[in-house]
Amino acid sequence: MTLSVDSKIFLAAVLLLWGISQLRSLFFWLYLWQLKEYHIGRFLDHFRTFKGERIFLNPLFFGKLVLWGVSVIFPLIWPVTLLFYISEAGRALLHVFKKNVLKPVLTTKTLFLLFGGLLCLKFFIRFLWDTNLGADSLLPWLLFFDIVSPLIFSLVVLVFQPFAVLGRRKIIEQAKKKRAQFPSLKVVGITGSYGKTSTKEFLALILSKKFKVLKTKEHQNSEVGISRCILQELNESHEVFVCEMGAYTKGGIHLLCSIARPSVGILTGLNEQHMATFGSQENIIKAKFELIRDLPQGGVAILNADNDLIRSNATAQMKDAKVQSQIFCSAKEKTEVFAEDIQEKKDSLAFKVHVEEEQVQFHIPFGGKHNVQNLLVAIACAKNLGMSMRDIANACKDIPQELNGLRAQKSSHGFEVIDSSYSANPDGVLADIEHLGFWKGKKVIVMPCLIELGKASQEVHRRIGKKIAEVCDLVILTSRDRIEDIQQGAKESGMKEESILFMENPQEIYEKIKALCKEGDVVLLEGRVPLRLTSQLLP
């Protein structure tokens, strides 16, 4: 059938409206894959969360299914489908106008994926155009593609993965070859379920007082990130490379060690973080201890002895290690390196560190007792690399507050706001809540429920709820996933139900806080809270 000019114009207009809505869908799915670092386990785990479930279990998606089924049987209802895509295109353009479109960060990989997604749209549109379909036959096809588009765009990602793997292997091999050119380079590997970034930053700053130091940047703890750091930044002037190492499965740290070749390994702490991808606590323990087992003959293992999982598993996990020495660090008992007389204030820490026969007083220009553990392993490492305790203590005086992970600022309304939006693990959350105890006024915490905790999620959120009740006057939860568990833990510790709120809208959260808090009060933004809320509260 040959379409008239008017029909062709109508067809072009319909495809344009439909294409606008599909572009928004393409951006979203590539954003989600990138957010989960293209890790299939993390991507699938997202659909176990409330937000993940709502992607498909919502009236709009069910409406599409019903509309498609009805339009196949009764083609004459096509005007309803047309009106639907007019509204969808309008909604997509409104999100663009409000700058609310979820889209991936542009990288070489995402550009390829966008091109692949656009090719799928182009071929489908071309197919429909060449078949000269009328409106009654065209719109069911558009609905069908719309419904299966998450699968199509995800297949684009998965089809590209073999090429990404080849590119990744090439980068890794290049990084290994370059790393081999620096045999005298001292490399410190840092891993754990929490505390990696703070420890890396503390250690890099301390060591920079004596050595030329290279460190991995923020979000550069994967095999590609570490490889690029080596390829792009490592040069002959560097004496020490401080390398943060992250992984989601067993064998991941082993791969990172083969790239960076650390001679010193720091294990900061272990907990339930990423249990959904590791599968069990046992797998997490084995995976993180890969760093220690991969150290070369004469290597040095530095471990946080205050972490129960490290302390109880160290002997078994290190029986085949080739390390020359093990340095346990503690803020609770006497070990190779330990702290005592810890004095914590809202904006400072003071403690005495014992190393061998030395006793040195440390003064840190920020609070947070949990930082003592991260500082101790950094101090032990700096001492092992040849710095004097006096030089290390002087260097610690210069650590800026922002490296603490807790950035406290005055809001435009007079109350203080603590931004800990980088934190996303149970121990970090509990430590941040405990730190709120130094404020005299009302204490409010805004946070989402934690993700990727697997079967440990229920117990972890109950524990968080109990700590919230002990310290805070109000909690505003921005996601639904484990609200019941947090509520149960909070109620068990005496918090009233009306002090536990669920609010998703950033503007509503802002208005609630503005009405409740005054000068002398404090608001803790914990984890991935909406950026719009952060920008409203902080100048």
Name the DSSP class of 18.
H
Q: Residue 165, Cα to own-chain centre: how many angstroms?
A: 22
Please state the φ and ψ torsions of residue 132, each to the nearest 5 degrees.
Answer: 50, 45
Rg (CA), the chain: 27
β-partners of residue 326 are: 301
266 close to 199: Cβ distance less than 8 angstroms:
yes
**What pLDDT, in 10s, does the model give residues 35-92?**
888 988 889 988 988 888 889 988 989 988 998 888 888 876 777 877 888 888 888 8
Q: Given this model, what pLDDT does residue 3 score?
A: 46
What is the number of H-type helices and E-type strands within the chain?
A: 21, 15
Q: Given this model, what pLDDT does residue 7 score?
A: 62
Q: Given this model, what pLDDT does residue 28 score?
A: 95
Instruction: Report which residue type is found at 242.
Output: V
Q: Given this model, what pLDDT does residue 5 score?
A: 54
Distance of alpha carbon 438 from alpha carbon 435, whole angstroms: 6
Q: Which domains does the chain have, with CATH numbers?
A: 5-163 (no CATH), 182-400 (3.40.1190.10), 406-537 (3.90.190.20)
Q: What is the DSSP string of 438-452?
A: G--S-EEEEEPPP-S
Distance of alpha carbon 516 from alpha carbon 59, whole angstroms: 35
Q: What is the DSSP string of 107-119?
A: -HHHHHHHHHHHH
Sign of the C-alpha dihedral, residues 460, 463, 469, 472? Answer: negative
Instruction: Report which residue type is found at 533.
Output: L
> Maximum distance among all alpha carbons in the chain?
93
Distance of alpha carbon 448 from alpha carbon 46, whole angstroms: 14
**What pLDDT, in 10s, does the model give residues 90-106?**
888 888 887 778 899 88
Distance of alpha carbon 453 from alpha carbon 136, whole angstroms: 48
Beta strands in 289-347 (DSSP E): 300-304, 325-330, 337-345
Pull the structure tokens for residue 402: 């922002």
Name the DSSP class of 220.
-
**What pLDDT, in 10s, does the model give residues 338-395?**
999 999 888 889 999 999 889 999 999 988 888 999 999 999 999 999 999 999 999 9
Instruction: Report which residue type is found at 110.
Output: T
CA distances from 251 to 45, 229, 248, 254, 278 (A): 20, 21, 9, 5, 11
CA distances from 233 to 184, 196, 238 (A): 17, 21, 9
325 close to 295: Cβ distance less than 8 angstroms:
no
Q: Given this model, what pLDDT does residue 1 score?
A: 46
Q: Given this model, what pLDDT does residue 467 score?
A: 94
**What pLDDT, in 10s, does the model give residues 444-456?**
999 988 887 888 8
Which residue in this structure is represented by tokens 């609905």? Answer: 143
Give Cβ neighbours of residue 518 (< 8 Å, ≥ 6 apart).
413, 414, 415, 441
CA distances from 125 to 47, 151, 515 (A): 30, 18, 52
- Taking only the tens of pLDDT, the chain with its 539 residues reads 454 555 667 777 888 889 999 999 999 999 999 988 898 888 998 898 888 888 998 898 998 899 888 888 887 677 787 788 888 888 888 888 877 788 998 888 999 999 999 999 999 988 887 777 666 778 888 899 999 999 999 999 999 999 988 999 999 999 999 999 999 999 999 999 888 999 999 999 999 999 999 999 988 899 999 999 999 999 999 999 999 999 888 899 999 999 999 999 999 999 887 777 788 889 999 999 999 999 999 899 999 999 999 999 998 998 888 888 899 999 999 999 999 999 988 888 999 999 988 999 999 998 888 899 999 999 999 999 999 999 999 999 989 877 776 777 888 788 888 888 776 788 888 888 988 888 888 999 999 888 878 888 899 999 999 999 999 999 999 988 888 999 999 999 999 988 999 998 888 998 999 888 888 899 999 888 877 788 888 76
Helices 78-97 and 5-35, packing angle to 10 deg = 50
Distance of alpha carbon 227 from alpha carbon 126, whole angstroms: 41
Give Cβ neighbours of residue 52 (< 8 Å, ≥ 6 apart).
46
Name the DSSP class of 192.
-
